[in-house]
Structure 1
Amino acid sequence: MAMPTAPETTSGAPSRSVRIAPSILSADFARLGEEVRAVDEAGADYIHVDVMDGHFVPNLTIGPMVVKALRPHSKKIFDVHLMISPVDSFLEDFAAAGADILTVHPEAGAHTHRTVQTIKALGKKAGLSLNPGTPVEALDYLIEDLDLVLVMSVNPGFGGQSFIDSQLRKIERIRTLIDRTGKAIDLEVDGGVNVETSRQVRDAGADVLVAGSATFKGGPDAYRGNIAALRGAAE
């Protein structure tokens, strides 16, 4: 009797199970600790933390002190996306605050390889994020050192934006690059991810879906159902 095979990505390589990373950018900031606990208990795999500086992106959010304050509220992976420039001087602070993954942008510093190596030296996983207009070639000479690649399917800065369809082709290309490495590198997508787009994103090769508005709509009683719906639509 033949054994069942693992699901495949568009590249033909076995895929990992989908993981859901609620973005707390869409949470109720007046009760942020409770919100983190709520999505943790509702089935979140990662807690996605968007850090914005009002300079690299047109918005301000939170700093290391808030990440440190939130850390006791969940044992899930803290997936911290640093939309700040220059980024290097903040890496140690966010690492100490409790980040598990630190994701940066190639435009946020002069020497991206050095930034990635600094994150690794701090004992954290390193991610690189590509904005909609950032080419896949930004991963050249870096992908072997990464633990995560984040494709922004909206322009960063604000939640609630619509998915940019052209990023599906980018996700497919990056999936192929990751599979060629033979390494367990997360391929994460952030921006306009909901029950309508999650299957497209998954079919293109993503295995971590960041969802803010789609997770936090309806209040805490709805979070478990929202996460289950996202996971079910993707799988």
Structure 2
Amino acid sequence: MIVAPSMLASDFSHLSDEIRRIDIAGADWVHLDAMDGHFVPNLTFGPPVISSMRPYTDKPFDVHLMIDEPIQYIPQFRKAGADIITFHLEAASDPDAVIQAISDGGAKPSVAIKPGTPVDAVLPYLDRLYMVLVMTVEPGFGGQKFMPNMLSKVRVIKQKRPDVLVEVDGGINDVTAKEAARAGVNVLVAGTSVFGAKDAAAAISSLKNSDRTL
């Protein structure tokens, strides 16, 4: 199981320290949520802030774009240090072009779907994707309750293409991580359960081991 702590739950006044902390604690990736205030009702950070974080870890930057018409921003996020770029299917007028732009820029392409989006919407793109992000909460804010019925989407995706990575984001803790693992999830995005833990290393280790009992 890959664990990608979400910087959305970190202390924004000490981003460099927070990245180093989760790196040392054993994070596999760093998850970065870029929100534009249009596609989702919240604003976070863009390429300049991501670029400023890049020197503090060698771990892959898993960048989740919650922005309208993401294609125009792909080069900036790639230049800022994004290794994996996830865009929302609902936010792109031409998903094929966005996937191509991500690949052409040298990053790994990934598509996210909101809870209200049927899994069938992402299936036509599976053969061109590195990963699919199944949102297990409504995107835009951290700390929401996990939606277990979203795991049916994971099962469909893994049945159609077993080798594609499936990531879940929202409400991940020790209990929901095991549910996700049973459904075939490969990557867990965890915010408050890591950054709010007294021992981040123990929290990450527990999530990593969520698939050990399967």
Q: CA RMSD in A?
A: 1.0
Residue 186 (structure 2) pairs with residue 203 (structure 1):
no
Aligned to 1:223: 200
Aligned to 2:209: 232
Matched letter for residue 175 of structure 1:
K
Distance 2:160 2:117 in 1: 16
Q: Which of 176, 183, 191 is equivalent to 2:170? A: 191
Distance 2:116 2:107 in 1: 27
Matched letter for residue 204 of structure 2:
I
Measure how far apart 1:108 and its partner are: 1.1
Q: 1:177-198: per-residue Cα shift (whole Å, max 9, x none)? A: 222xxxx421100000100100
Distance 1:233 1:144 in 2: 28
Bigger radius of gyration among the two? 1
Q: Which of 136, 142, 164 is equivalent to 1:153? A: 136
Measure how far apart 1:230 and its partner are: 1.6
Contact 2:181 2:210 in 1 (8 A): no
Residue 127 (structure 2) pairs with residue 144 (structure 1):
yes
Distance 2:60 2:146 in 1: 25
Matched letter for residue 21 of structure 1:
A
Measure how far apart 1:107 and its partner are: 1.4
Contact 2:63 2:82 in 1 (8 A): yes
Residue 113 (structure 2) pairs with residue 130 (structure 1):
yes
Matched letter for residue 61 of structure 1:
T
What is the TM-score with the length of structure 2 in the denominator? 0.96
What is the TM-score with the length of structure 1 in the denominator? 0.88
Measure how far apart 1:57 and its partner are: 0.4
Aligned to 1:14: none
Aligned to 1:144, the other structure's residue is in SS state: helix
Count residues with an aligned counterpart: 212
Measure how far apart 1:218 and its partner are: 3.4
Distance 2:96 2:209 in 1: 37
Distance 2:83 2:49 in 1: 15
Aligned to 1:10: none
Runs (4 or more) in structure 1 with deviation over 6 Å come to none
Q: What pairs up with 1:61-210 in 2 under 5 angstroms?
A: 61-179=44-162, 184-210=163-189
Higher normalized helix content (fraction of residues): 2
Structure 2: give runs of 5+ residues left out of the alignment. none
Q: Percent of pairs identical after alignment? A: 43
